[in-house]
Amino acid sequence: MLNLTSDFKEKVIEALLEGRKNYDGSDAAFARKNGVSAAVYSRLKNGERERLLSDTQWLTVGRNLGVTMNTRKWVMARTDVFTVIEEDILFCKEFSKGKICVDDCGIGKTFAAKYLSRTLKNVFYVDAKQAKTKQRFIRLIAKTIGIEEHGRYTDVKDNLKYYLQILEKPLIILDDVGYVEYAAYMEVLELVDSTEGICGWYQIGDDSLQEKIERGINSKKVGFRAMFSRFSKRYTTVIPFENSEKIRFYKKLLRDVISVNATKDVDIDRLVVKCLRSDNGSVMGDLRRAEGLLILNQ
């Protein structure tokens, strides 16, 4: 049986109320996107706590909001990766444009996207690999922005298009969108066209997303050339191509992140060197590896 502390519940409420400040929709829509009823949200907002949510619901809301029960917190570092993604997202949001960020795994793309979705108004993060089929994909986006995801598929999609036209300068981040099926990916093209000049779109992925797009263009598969055109006909990348520059980039990235998360007794230089090499001797620089080593050395 779960035994959630009152401190955890208060952290969830605090994150919930903070998230409301960055959402333009109604209280009912905000409650729906976070998995609670409008009535329960109203009572939580007014200070009630007891017997309003089950422990499972508390966990679900907490997970959606990035609340953790662990005392150790991964501090945000303003890395070069974070800065580039932030600049892209602010541009796409302000001018309702589309861009694609393609780069290596483990450099903080997802962390930056999630952080910005929590701190910028009407910016929504969608983990696309959790909904690979067309129907699940559209319903996930609908739920993420706070509209009803159940019912007839065409109604959900039409309501999604309409709701995005109501919000003030919304932006949808589609992370790992290269994992979705072709039919689902083409729905993005329809959504972009129906919200042109109204909603910004930002795709994030690794080299497999770039390969998917270029393979589609080269084989003249319907939609890929149009998609690439809607997303600026270029990819945002951060990591340099030249090997010595790449190593310098990774050293700075690792140092930026480790320095704000390490305790005073940690040898940052030694940790950076350990992070730079994988077991097969290739350049690693993975921030997930850095986090693991930091835990072991503190």
pLDDT tens digits, residue range 5-41?
Answer: 888 889 999 999 999 999 988 999 999 998 889 999 9
For 246-280, how does the pLDDT look when each residue is reduced to its tens digit (9 = 90+)?
989 999 999 999 888 877 777 888 888 888 876 55
With respect to CATH, is domain 80-236 assigned 3.40.50.300? yes
pLDDT at position 291: 78
% of the chain at pLDDT higher than 90? 66
Specify the 3-state DSSP secondary structure of 257.
helix
Measured over the CA atoms of residue 142, residue 148, residue 145 and residue 15, the dihedral's sign is negative
The torsion of the CA quartet 184, 29, 202, 13, rounded to 10 degrees, works out to -120
Strand-pairing partners, residue 283, are: 277
The torsion of the CA quartet 104, 207, 186, 128, rounded to 10 degrees, works out to -30
**Residue ranges per domain, the chain?**
6-65, 80-236, 243-296
Average pLDDT over residues 193-217: 96
Instruction: Assess whether pLDDT exceeds 90 at residue 226.
Output: yes
Average pLDDT over residues 123-134: 96
Lowest mean pLDDT among 38-52, 58-72, 231-245: 58-72
pLDDT at position 265: 78
Per the CB < 8 A criterion, the answer to whether 167 and 153 are in contact is no
The torsion of the CA quartet 283, 288, 293, 297, rounded to 10 degrees, works out to 140
